[in-house]
Structure formats: C-alpha cells, structure tokens
Amino acid sequence: MKRILILCLALALAACSGHTRTTVRVRVDTYVPDVYRSGQLNLTAVTLFLPDDDGDGTYGNDPDGLALKLPKLDILERARLRTRLSLKNTGSVAASVSLEVHVAPPGDGVIYDGSGDYTVLAGSVTLDPGEEKPLDLEAILGEADPAFSLLKGGDFRVGLAVRLTGDTVNYTLEQADVSLSGRLFEAIPD
C-alpha cells in the first residue's frame, strides 16, 4: 500500500512539473551603461546600436548586439519583445526617429544587415520642434514567425538600432526586454 501511494505521488509530481510554465525574462536595457541610456542624437543622419559591448572606447557603433544564452525551452509557447524610447526634439526642424529590434544566431557579427538575422520589431515616429513622444513597440511571436525557432534554442544575439533623420533629438531608453514562456521539458504529452 505504501509503495502504491509513493508511486501515485511520484506520477502526480511528474505530471505537474511537465506542465509547469516557465518564463525567462531578460532586461536588455540593463546591459546598456547608465550614461548611454540617455543621450542626444544630433547629426543629420545617425544610427545608434544598443547594447554595444565591443570595448573599443566608443559606444553605439558596434553592430553585433548582445549575446544571450538562456535555458532552452523544449516547449516554447510565446516569445515577447518590448522596447520603449522617450524622445524629445530639441532641434529647429522636424525629426524622424526609427527603432528596430533584431535577433540573430550567436555567430552573426552584423545583426542588422538582413543576412541570417530577423527584424522582430520596427517602428518610427516624427517629432516637430519641441515635441515629446514615446516610441513604444511590442511583439508577441508564435510558431509561424521566422525568429521563433531561434529564440526557442535560447542561444541568440539581440540588439536595437535607433536611426535619426533631422536635427537634434534627446532620447532615453526606458525599456528593452525579451521574455520567453514555455516548458523546460514535456514529461507527459498532452
């Protein structure tokens, strides 16, 4: 009788653990040093890459993004990416700011060139002189999205490309995160 009770308990625990949803969330913005989370874009046309971990003494010019190695989820149910920039046009002409979030395989050295990488978020905003606006983007990826299997593996690069056309815009990176939700393994099939 005692063995049957232990066996039932073991089966119940296996069923629970096989169906427990796990969420792995990485705040990409925390990999950007505080001094670079806010700044000024002030050229006629400029591109800023975040995060930038090339260690060359300059910041925002490294196109390889941030390498992440997360736990592999055998059953990935959802991948959510979200980013938010706060913008203020401090120039004398209208400005346009665009934001793209890219993911790529771990060995991809330029994750913004369209070769092996995926654009998972893209948007832009136009600001008149003196105007303040957020640029808030979110995507929830499913199995039909091309980047889904890359994220499911847990080993990928992620980066943000911020592009300015105009005079002068102040920016603040308020949020940039990747969340993967699913199950680490499937002990008992549905």
Taking alpha carbons only, the member of 62, 165, 180 closest to residue 111 is 62
Per-residue confidence (pLDDT) for residue 56, from 0 to 100: 64
Per-residue confidence (pLDDT) for residue 7, from 0 to 100: 47
Taking alpha carbons only, the member of 123, 138, 51 closest to residue 87 is 123
Per-residue confidence (pLDDT) for residue 75, from 0 to 100: 76
CB atoms within 10 A of CB 14: 12
**Is the Cβ–Cβ distance between 72 and 150 less than 8 Å?**
no
The pair of three-digit structure tokens given for residue 156, joined into one six-digit string: 């990928």
Per-residue confidence (pLDDT) for residue 184, from 0 to 100: 64
**pLDDT tens sequence for the chain (190 residues):** 555 555 445 545 455 555 566 777 788 888 888 888 888 888 766 888 888 766 666 666 778 888 888 877 677 788 899 999 999 999 999 999 999 999 999 988 889 988 889 999 999 999 999 999 999 999 999 888 889 888 888 889 999 999 998 889 999 999 999 988 887 665 555 5
**Is the Cβ–Cβ distance between 122 and 138 less than 8 Å?**
no
Q: Is the preceding omega at residue 146 within 30 degrees of 0, hence cis? A: no
| CA–CA separation, 2 and 158 (whole Å) | 52
Q: Is 44 helix (H, G, I), strand (E, B) or coil?
A: coil
Tokens 């890219």 found at: 102
Per-residue confidence (pLDDT) for residue 53, from 0 to 100: 64
